[in-house]
Amino acid sequence: MNNLYNKIERTIGGLKFAVFIILIFSLMMTIGTFVESYYGTDFANRIIYKTPFFMGIQFFMFLSILFATFVRLPMKKRLYGFYVIHTGLIVIGVGSFVTYIAGIDGTIHLPPMTPTRQIVLNDDVIEVVMPDDNKRASLNLPYAALTKDLDVKYGDIEVIKYLPFAEKVLSWENELAKTNSPNTHSSQYNIANDNVAEDFILSLHPESYDFKASMTMGLLNITYLPKAMARCFTLPNKDKLILWNSVESVCTTTEELGIKVQKTSTGKRFFAIKNGETVYSFLPDLSPWAMDPDLRPIQNSPIRVFSMELFEEKPHLFLFGERAAFYDKDEKKWLVQAFDNKKQMELPWMGFTLTLLQHHDKKVPTYLPKATLPIQKNGQLIKGDFKAARVKIRDNEYWVTNERPVSLLIDAKKVNIYLTKKSFMLPFEFTLSRFKMEKDPGTNSPASYESFVDLFTDSGTSNHHIYMNNPLKYDGFTFYQASYSQDPETGQYSSTLSVNVDQGRPIKYLGSLLLVLGSIWHYALNNRSRKKENDILGLDS
């Protein structure tokens, strides 16, 4: 036994093994950097740097260094430098292991003036929230690079597949719950002129989570309306008011109903309409909703009013699936057009042509996840930036993605399933009180960005200033200025800090110090004669 150990020690501690393991390590790192450049940092971590195989290589490097030291014991004076170098490496290895086991590495996102204590980590989890039972569970997903079949169960919920990198593929699915309303149609269009071309999908179906009923494209606003509403755009309509009954799916106009539109003392138009027993009054130029006597909007009223005048000034396109309406400024009237036999129509703005690509009354446009290899460009994933998990609940299967949770009822109890990052709560709270950004004079490139935060703890409130190269240390956590984002509408800045707990830090620092001092000792101070140099191995044979 002892003999076998000696043999292993001499082999792994030997120079040939050292050269071999160093070269394997270098080769893996080289592959890693190329993978990183093509597929992105996260993918490279998942497929190389943080795999058991690569960790194993590092473990054998560690053993090689350790045994190489052991076989050169007892201490020889001329090898002091060598011992210090190798001890330094061993200490660094131990420190890194401590960090790997116990360290925390995450980010905290600070919106302006909002108390925050949630730290987001890098691991993906499935989160199951049952608000009725007040239950919450976190199911860990593996740190995999490629699609993985799983068998993770929580009650009736079973996670069967995990796609760490996926892209969205458009699919027209059958509706899950049958709808009777005629106003659940969806359409796919293309809008193009000489310079730009873009496809877009609009949908009124209640199950369409990925597509909405309105969008803006530069200056052009597009609204998707029930097809039954198209009729009312053609009716003679002096008041330019269309009434829509969403329960019965019919439209009408004030003129058709013979309702008189009056004016308030301040010159605002108003009218009232009786529906069954209820009287709804409207201020059509202010709100589409009916008003109660206190002039508060009644959100659940079945009737809404649509004032066409509001959409005449700016380019506004209304689509009803196979028809379109817009205001012709030259002729000063509303036009309703159908597509020609090539399914195309000319629009009055910037030479745009609109093409109807698809139209479905009942099918639901949905993005389905499909596994893909990611592609990174300038530090950002341009493909594969989408995660998904296939979840089986009793006999039905659902896709949960990082963009869309699944919400459903199990035994009449509400269940929400999210695919998200693992997170945990800090024992104290942060507020971003001010964010300062300085730019290089005369340019738009940031010269520095700084966060001023208020820290609320049990022992009171304190103010801190966090910026590049000036982190905040508190309660074992260290907070670093990492990045920022700006709200495109309000212009307000949010700040992102990276948060970290590293118990291995002092150990790694000590190891580093030993390594550097040892190298200097070994090479500079150890003035060997050439004859002795040949005996550098220190293995007295």
Partner 1 sequence: MSKFMQFIAVFTFMFSVQATETYFCTNELGKMPVRQGGRIKPLSVHAKESIKHLTGKSKVGDLSAVEAYCLLSAKAFGMPSKMEFKGKLEHRDTRKLFDGKKEMSYEELMQEQRTIRSAWMRIKEDNGAKKDLNRLLAKVNLYQDITAGNNWTLPLINGSETTWVPLASFLTEEKVMAMKASSSKPFETLFKNVRDEYIKTNGDDFMLEYQYDKMQLMRVAMLTTLLALAALVLFKKFTIALSFSAITLIIQTIYLVMRVYISGRAPVTNMYETVMFSGYGGLFLAMAIGHFKKEKAFIYMGLGYNVCCLMMLNFAGSMVSESISPLVPVLRDNFWLSTHVTTIILSYGALALSWIMANTIIIKKFFSKLSKNDEAYYNDLIYTSLKYGIVLLAAGIILGGVWADYSWGRFWGWDPKETWSLIVLCIYMAILHGKYTNWIPGHRFAHLIAAAFMSVMMAWFGVNYILASGLHSYGFSEGGAIFLGTFFTIQTVILLITLKSSKTSVA
What does the binding site for partner 1 look like in residue numbers (CB under 8 A)? 15-16, 18-19, 22-23, 25-26, 29-30, 32-34, 36-38, 41, 44-45, 49, 96, 99, 105, 194-196, 375-378, 439-443, 445-449, 468-469, 471, 478, 480, 482, 498-500, 502, 505, 508-509, 512, 515-516, 519-520, 523-524, 530, 536-537
Please state the closest distance from residue 348 (CB atom) to partner 1, in A.
22
CA dist 172 and 362 (Å) reads 10
Please state the closest distance from residue 385 (CB atom) to partner 1, in A.
15
CA dist 76 and 500 (Å) reads 41
Please state the closest distance from residue 378 (CB atom) to partner 1, in A.
8
CA dist 271 and 445 (Å) reads 54
CA dist 139 and 149 (Å) reads 14
Please state the closest distance from residue 449 (CB atom) to partner 1, in A.
7
CA dist 155 and 139 (Å) reads 12
| Residue whose CB is less far from partner 1, 302 or 538 | 538
CA dist 53 and 47 (Å) reads 10
Asked whether 95 and 505 are in contact (CB, 8 A), the reply is: yes
| Residue whose CB is less far from partner 1, 268 or 528 | 528
| Residue whose CB is less far from partner 1, 169 or 235 | 169
Please state the closest distance from residue 85 (CB atom) to partner 1, in A.
9
| Residue whose CB is less far from partner 1, 361 or 440 | 440
Secondary structure tally for the chain: helices H, strands E:
9, 35
Asked whether 259 and 246 are in contact (CB, 8 A), the reply is: no
Q: Per-residue b/e over 478-502, b at no fewer than 16 CB within 10 Å?
A: bbbbbebeeeeeeeebbbbbbbbbb
| Residue whose CB is less far from partner 1, 9 or 158 | 9
Please state the closest distance from residue 515 (CB atom) to partner 1, in A.
6
Q: What's the angle, vertex CA 194, arms to CA 191 and CA 197, rounded to 5?
A: 30
Please state the closest distance from residue 511 (CB atom) to partner 1, in A.
9
Asked whether 257 and 273 are in contact (CB, 8 A), the reply is: yes
| Residue whose CB is less far from partner 1, 391 or 499 | 499
Please state the closest distance from residue 93 (CB atom) to partner 1, in A.
12
* DSSP-based helix, strand, coil % in the chain, nearest 5: 25, 45, 30
3-state secondary structure of 353: strand
